[in-house]
Structure 1
């Protein structure tokens, strides 16, 4: 697993990507999908997930729909048009960042 400090800035991008690929998901489903797709290397704890979902809903990137399941209410999240645009921007930014980090992590073979 990775440190929470390292992952903190990527959670929103991961959520946008998942919701861009899936019609709608509820919180637990999102956290489980992250765990599955990362082979357990990344876990998105509820204490982090729900505040992020709430913030992204307020920002207009997600919309939330309440569905009654028996006696329980399940909150489903789906991506908005603005969220889809934001997903593209953030995924491109993350790709550039990872490429830059790869360059920085290579052994320095030049002269200083």
Structure 2
């Protein structure tokens, strides 16, 4: 994962699963390149997910039963479309709650005199 304007990928490592599940839940089935472009678009080009991060994450989601895959022939190519499962939707909610609490806690530690305005 490459993050523009940030020196480290550490801040986003733990959120890739949440991001992927959110996009699949909101957009239905999507293929890998489509997911990377959507993240790029939504982040104003600040988050660029590389294949080396994306596909291992998708394979993990698949093996955990959080997404399913449909293979479609597109011309001479095979495209894999990923979609969220019921279990994935439940996990997404848990991840949202966990991320929200984490952000609030970090804000409280790092910026104790500011109110949480983004959650």
TM over 0.5: yes
Q: TM-score range by the shorter chain?
A: over 0.9
Give the Å deviation of 1:89.
Answer: 0.5
How many residue pairs get aligned? The number is 108
Give, in whole Å, the separation in 2 of the partners of 1:90 and 1:79: 14
Aligned to 1:48: 53
Q: Secondary structure at the match of 1:60?
A: coil
Task: Provide closer, same or farther for how the CA distance between residues 94 and 107 of structure 1 changes in structure 2, counting only shifts above 3 A.
Answer: closer
Structure 1: give runs of 5+ residues left out of the alignment: none
Give the Å deviation of 1:90.
Answer: 0.2
Give, in whole Å, the separation in 1 of the partners of 2:111 and 2:87: 37
Aligned to 1:83: 88
Aligned to 2:67: 62
Q: Secondary structure at the match of 2:28?
A: coil
1:71 aligns with 2:76: yes
Tell me the C-alpha RMSD between the 2 structures: 1.1
**Cα deviations by residue, 1:2-44 (Å, 9 ceiling, x for unpaired):** 3212111110000001011011100000011001101111111
From the CA coordinates, give the structure whose radius of gyration is larger.
1
Give the Å deviation of 1:107.
Answer: 5.3
1:101 aligns with 2:95: no
Please list every run of at least 4 consecutive aligned residues from structure 1 whose deviation after the TM superposition is greater than 3 angstroms. none
Task: Provide closer, same or farther for how the CA distance between residues 59 and 107 of structure 1 changes in structure 2, counting only shifts above 3 A.
Answer: closer
Instruction: Name the structure with the higher helix share.
Output: 1
